[in-house]
Structure 1
Amino acid sequence: MKFVITLMLFLLTSTTTLLAAEYRYVTDQFKIMMRTGESASHKIKRTITSGARLELLSSNRETGYSKVRLPSGIEGFVLTRQLLNDPVAREKLAAANERLKELQAAPDQLTAKLSSLQEEHATLVQNHEILEHDKKNLEQELSGIKRTASNAIRVTNERNELRQQVTNLTRELEDLKQENRELSNDTAQNWFIIGAGVVIAGIVIGLILPHLRVQSRRSKSSWDSF
């Protein structure tokens, strides 16, 4: 049990402390060596110049080494005491001079930027006017298309109505023709019957009339004999 506790304490004291996105800077006194491991016996991987910015990945108090990453992505181990929390004075001075140059050039840059923005604004205004004009034209075209579509629908409806009327009139005309044919047939049939009746009546009269004459003569003769 004591061995386990001792082992845990040893691991806790020797465990590497992980730091997220924490940076360190190389001291400005000399160049430092990046090694492949946490001791002077490990192979030198890179020589890092003073003032270089390194990303701190972890630190090991037991070995006195820290794991770092260069901006290029290369990782290795350096002595923790050779790292600083802030940039060295030389780097600070260079940064200050660079910032001063930026500030001195700022008026000219701002003037140029303002001119560029004004040109962009004028271009945007012109484009807006063009778009507004195009919008009005499109709205007018759309209105014309709607009117044309409305007229086309109206014409189509009227044409369909006329077609229906023509169909109805054609049907009525056929009905009238059929009735006319039927009436013509009935009239012809009536005249045929009348004609046939007249002929038959003539025949009957022709047959009866001689007999009536003979009988009349006989009757007259009988009266004369008396």
Structure 2
Amino acid sequence: MGPSPSFRRRSAVPVDLVLIVLLAASLAAAALPGAAAAEPTEANATTRHYVAPAIEVPLRTGQDTTYRIIALVPNGTPVEVLEEGDKWVRVRLPSGKEGWMPSRFVTTERPLRDVLTEVERERDRLGRRLKEERTLNAALKEELAKARKALAEAEKARDQAQKAYKTLAEDAKDVVALKNAYDESQSEVQKLRQRVAILEQKNQQLERDRFVSYFLAGGGVLLVGWLLGALGGRRKRRSRLEL
């Protein structure tokens, strides 16, 4: 069960502040020089310097407040240190203008606004990444659900196949006996077919013989009738002659 909305509202601000402080501290630590060195008369041009937090720092033509002000530099402005004195440094502004300002207003620490800007940029990047991760997570959950469904179907098919295999394994014991019975039945069928063919031939022969017998019997009857008729006619003629 997630935290209540009131807890989220109370905890959101401290978390952001902690994140900002941690990122600011890490960035500030990265910007600090690795080791302290003796102050040279000519500053290292590769080290980035900034105007320390103040309303505006006057840029003068010399190393004293009596010199003329040639510019008012806002805090956080990056400057290039050209020369370092006792309490003053000669710097070059991004516009190219050069002059002197108190060394206490020049620092190597990055301005807080730059740190905050970078923190906000990092926060936005993390927010976009979190959104992408959530989208990817949703897609993975959907894919996982499909995979689980496919797995369940595959397991069901496997169980059915295993059951069918067991049934076949049990029935396989009678396969040889069934094969022998089939072969015997097939042989018996062949024998019966041959016997049927022989009987059909005999039946056809009997039919032919019966037809011949009927034909001969009918012819004999006709012949006997003809003979009887002929003999009767002769007797009548003989009787007439005797009269």
**TM-score interval for Structure 1 and Structure 2 normalised by the shorter chain:** 0.3 to 0.5
TM-score by length of 1: 0.36
TM-score by length of 2: 0.34
